[in-house]
Amino acid sequence: MMIGHSEVDPGDKAMILLQSLICYLREKNVLSRADIEELRERVEARIPETEASLPCVASLAAAAAATEMRELDAYCGKKYGGKHRRRAN
């Protein structure tokens, strides 16, 4: 059974493409584990501090993206390994 283009959410298509691209770049050693961790931190930084008091579509989307990025970070870390990002004290 083929699924028509109109039956698939554009956001789902974009997420699959981005996850595949990140995994491919990690597999080819273009991205390091540290790069993916930095990307995850940048995505998490998009969540507003006031998310709990003022929920809105943007903060919900940022929280969902941060969750996806954490899962992708964990997956790539398990599959490809690599050194973690150095933390500045």
Q: Residue 85 falls within a domain, yes or no?
A: no
Q: Residue 89 falls within a domain, yes or no?
A: no
Q: Residue 28 falls within a domain, yes or no?
A: yes
Q: Output the average pLDDT for the chain.
A: 77
Domain count, the chain: 1
Distances (CA, A) of 27 to 32, 33, 67: 9, 10, 22
Q: Summarize pLDDT for 55-65 with one digit per residue, the tens.
A: 566 667 777 88
Q: Return the closest-CA partner of residue 59 out of 37, 38, 43.
A: 43
Q: Residue 88 falls within a domain, yes or no?
A: no
Q: Summarize pLDDT for 15-25 with one digit per residue, the tens.
A: 888 888 888 88
Q: Residue 58 falls within a domain, yes or no?
A: yes
- Per the structure, the complete domain to which residue 58 belongs is given by 5-80
Q: Residue 76 falls within a domain, yes or no?
A: yes
Sign of CA dihedral 87, 62, 65, 31: negative
Q: Residue 36 falls within a domain, yes or no?
A: yes
| CA 75 – CA 48 distance, rounded (Å) | 26
